Amino acid sequence: MKSKFYLFYFFCLCALPPLPAQELEISGYFENQFFPQKMGDGLKLQDYNKLRLDLSTEISDNLSFNTDFIYRTFHGMTSINLLDFLPEKLSRGLVALPREYTTIEQPDENYLDNAYLTFYSERMNVRLGKQQLPWGAGYTWNPTDIFNDKNTFDPTYEKVGVNALKIELSFAAEGMLSAVLSPGEVWENSTKALKLRQHFHGFDLSACFIEKEQQTFTDALVMGIPLFTTFTEKRRLFGGDFSGELFGLGFWAEGAYNKMKISEDYGQYLTGADFTFENGLYLTAEYYRNELGKSDKKDYALSDWMRLFSASGENLGQNYLFAGQRYPVSELWNWSNFALINLDDKSAILFPWFDYSFNDNTEIILVGYLPLGEKETEFGEFGYGGFARVRVYF
Amino acid sequence: MKKSGLFIILLALGYQRAAAQTLTPQEIIRKIDTTERVASSWSVMRQIITTSGGKKRTLEMETWMRDRNDKQLMVYTAPKRVKGDKILMLNDGDDIWFYTPKTDRVRHLASHAKKQKVQGSDFAYEDISGGEIEKDYTYQLLGEEKIVGVDCYKFELIPTASGPSYAKLILWADKEKFLTLRIDYYEPDEILKRLQMDDIRQIDGHWTAFKMLMKNLQDGGETIMEILKIKYDIKIADKIFTTKNLKRR
């Protein structure tokens, strides 16, 4: 039924009478990703094919429409058992549960990723519909971005669109006030956000306030079995970020203080720096302080792991270091090495990363996952693996 | 009578040459800056990157410049892989922002990032950003040399704090047109790259190199920038050169 709706939607778009065919731009890409990972004694294989179709048109001088549709098919291991990723002390009690309680199914999917109208004027832009809302100056983490789920293993990958109304008012040369409303069922559970941004003497500075209603994970003991549950609560975020240059280094910082209605308030802060040498070698590092996490691995509860596995992707520990290097081996090859380190439980994951421009419109990425650490640490039980991604643009 | 007319012409030419010969290095540099820092322009360009292994990548872009290159905007139009990527340069290239529609994110580049190659080409951000020789370099006239049959002034340029990261540049400029014809980039005594201008034409009264070849003398790769269309002294709105405009799709 859903597929039929999107097909109908696509044909409607293509048939919009006031738009001459040459004004409707069609583009997109096909992507295949193969993801082998060692789990237990075996090698589990996952694979997907993704087709993204982008349509855009300038309806008039000050009005445009953009949309993209995604169709993705999953192959290989499409059923993920969370017990394979949990420490034994937590998974032991869950083994008795029916399989559907501990398994995430990955069915084929098709959805409108983005679909929005944008109205432009001298001082104001208004965007309505499912859209990208990337907030924050951080690279691996973005404490002020509550709209998107960030994959710390692949932080620059495109995000899923957010259904919202965004109004941007510009002032002075590079100042901007943004207001976002992402509607929920009623006004009270809708997400409201305000952001003030200014460029000042080479620095991009911003301050923001966000109010949203969210699902919070918590632990529960049911018949002696440690389980987890969720509850709904209001979250108010006060945050800001800046990026610029200090002592010849690129420098950025981002922070958010989260005032929670029921659970404990917490802060999340980061700072990072980067530098490029004459030979093109690029170095970067980012430190992240996460007050939502635990400083001792013994305190990692099932709810913490579930929060990590969930869309929010919040890490388990309190202190993290991300460090990396990228070197252009040739015009077409980049060789990078990244490390994500949990400074509390002393576990880490290393990512050797190669990207290659196969031709004008084809890119190939090869990434390895090399986990380090003891048992029951965040990365220590992550299986060796990696992924190969091919993307062809059209 | 004819003879006296010819004499006057010869005298005028002789005076011009003598005047040119008496130009100070500062006057020459100012003339080069005046020639190359135009009031405004719009162009469509093609970039052909040839790797050291002989593989080719072709990119196309549209560019807008204003206020004597103080403000520049580059929008990639092909291939699809980079289509919609934008580079905004303000304050003679001191401030550079990069935008990609894939993530709808605008990123301000720190100074060190200006050494990075632009879309894998042999041009770094600092090579394509605006700037003014008189402000960004200390210079010394080394003499005169012929470059591809054209009489040129030869200058050594040492970047100041506001200049690029290279240790020095050697620049050859056409003695008549006051247009740069070649630049060698050094780090510090080793030559890194050579930029060679070719296919010089006069458009709307401005001397323009329709072909620029940047040769990487370290790895043998090269990038050709060709101008496909160009217009000078056109009216370009201020709002084009804002980070807000980068997100316009």
Residue A231 has pLDDT above 60, yes or no: yes
pLDDT for res A336: 96
Q: How far is CA A261 from the centre of its chain?
A: 25
The yes-or-no verdict on residue A221 having pLDDT over 90 is no
The Cα B99–Cα A44 span in angstroms is 37
Helix (H) or strand (E) holding A28: strand A25-39
Residue the block writes with tokens 């340069």: B89
Task: Please answer yes or no on whether B110 and A244 come within 8 Å at the CB atom.
Answer: yes
| A178 has pLDDT over 60 | yes
The confidence score (pLDDT) of residue B137 equals 94
Q: Is the pLDDT of residue A304 over 60?
A: yes
Cβ contact, residue pair B249, A132, below 8 Å = no
**Angstroms from A276 CA to nearest CA on chain B:** 5
Within 8 A of B247 by CB-CB distance, chain A residues are 125
For residue A326, pLDDT beyond 70: yes
pLDDT of residue A302: 87
Confidence bin at A46 (pLDDT 50/70/90): very high
Alpha-carbon distances, residue A188 vs A15, A144, A259, A309, B13 (angstroms): 39, 20, 16, 27, 83
Give the whole-angstrom CA distance, residue A98 versus residue A84: 15
| A288: pLDDT strictly greater than 90 | yes
Render pLDDT for A79-114 as a digit per residue (tens, 0 to 9).
Answer: 888 888 888 888 877 777 777 778 889 999 999 999
3-state secondary structure of A149: coil
d(CA A369, CA A339): 10
The enclosing H or E element of A220 equals: strand A203-222
Q: Which residues of B touch A362 (CB under 8 A)?
A: 81
With a cut of 80, say whether residue A195 has pLDDT above it: yes
Residues of B in contact with A249 (CB under 8 A): 110, 112
For position A57, what pLDDT does the model report? 94
**Residue B99 identity:** Y
pLDDT at A5: 44
Q: What is the pLDDT of residue A311?
A: 67
Percent of chain B at pLDDT > 90 equals 61
Quick one: tokens of A139? 């690279």
What residues does each domain of chain B span?
Answer: 25-246
Dihedral sign (CA B30, B31, B36, B40): positive
Is the CB of residue A235 less than 8 Å from the CB of residue A189? no
CATH topology of domain B25-246: outer membrane lipoprotein receptor (LolB), chain A (2.50.20)
β-strand pairing of B180-186 with A347-359? unpaired
Residue of A nearest to B58 (CA): A360
Q: How far is B81 from chain A (nearest CA, A)?
A: 5
Q: How sure is the predictor about A177, in pLDDT bands with cuts at 50, 70 and 90?
A: very high
Q: B60, B77, B103: which to substitute to probe chain A, counting the most A Cβ within 10 Å?
A: B103
Candidate from A120, A249, A250 with C-beta closest to B248: A120
- CB–CB contact A331 B121 (8 Å): yes
B104:A202 CB<8 A: no
Amino acid at residue number A133: L
Q: What per-residue confidence (pLDDT) applies to A266? A: 96
Average pLDDT in chain B: 88
pLDDT of residue A390: 98
Please report which helix (H) or strand (E) contains residue B8, including its range.
Answer: helix B2-21
Report helix, strand or coil for A297: helix
The whole-number pLDDT of residue A8 equals 46
Averaged over B157-162, what is the pLDDT?
91
Contact residues on chain B for A156, CB-CB shorter than 8 A: 103
Specify the pLDDT at position B247.
Answer: 82
Average of pLDDT values for B74-88?
A: 94
Say yes or no for a CB contact (<8 Å) between A331 and B122. Answer: yes
- Once rounded to an integer, what is the mean pLDDT over residues B161-178? 93
Residues of A in contact with B102 (CB under 8 A): 158
The candidate with the shortest Cα–Cα distance to B45, out of B209, B215, B233, B206, is B209
A 210-269 → B contacts, CB under 8 A:
243-245, 248-251
Range in A265-269, A345-349, B28-32, B106-110 with the lowest mean pLDDT? B106-110
Q: What's the predicted TM-score (pTM) here?
A: 0.84
Span A327-335, average pLDDT: 89
CA B99/CA B112 separation, integer angstroms: 18
Arithmetic mean of pLDDT, A351-357:
95
Domains of chain A (ranges, CATH numbers): 2-393 (2.40.160.100)
Q: What is the pLDDT of residue B21?
A: 59
User: What is the number of CB-based contacts under 8 A between chain A and chain B?
Assistant: 105
Handedness of CA A81, A87, A92, A97 (dihedral sign): negative
Lowest mean pLDDT among A2-11, A71-80, A137-146, A150-159: A2-11
Give the dihedral of Cα atoms B92, B97, B99, B105; nearest 10 deg: -160
CA distance between the termini of chain B: 67
Query: Rounded to a whole number, what is the distance in Å from the CA of B126 to chain A's nearest CA?
Result: 12
Q: Tell me how close the Cα of A196 comes to any Cα of chain B, in angstroms.
A: 13
Strand B40-50 and strand B222-232: the pairing is antiparallel
Token output for A208: 């923001």
Torsion-angle region of B67 (φ positive above 0: left; ψ -120 to 50: alpha; else: beta): left
User: What six digits make up the tokens of B28?
Assistant: 């020459």
Cβ distance of B79 and A360 shorter than 8 Å: yes
- Supply the DSSP symbol for A294: B
What per-residue confidence (pLDDT) applies to A2? 45
Identify the band that residue A18 occupies on the pLDDT scale cut at 50, 70 and 90.
low
Tens digits of residue pLDDT in B208-227? 999 999 999 988 999 999 99
Q: Is A244 helix (H, G, I), strand (E, B) or coil?
A: strand
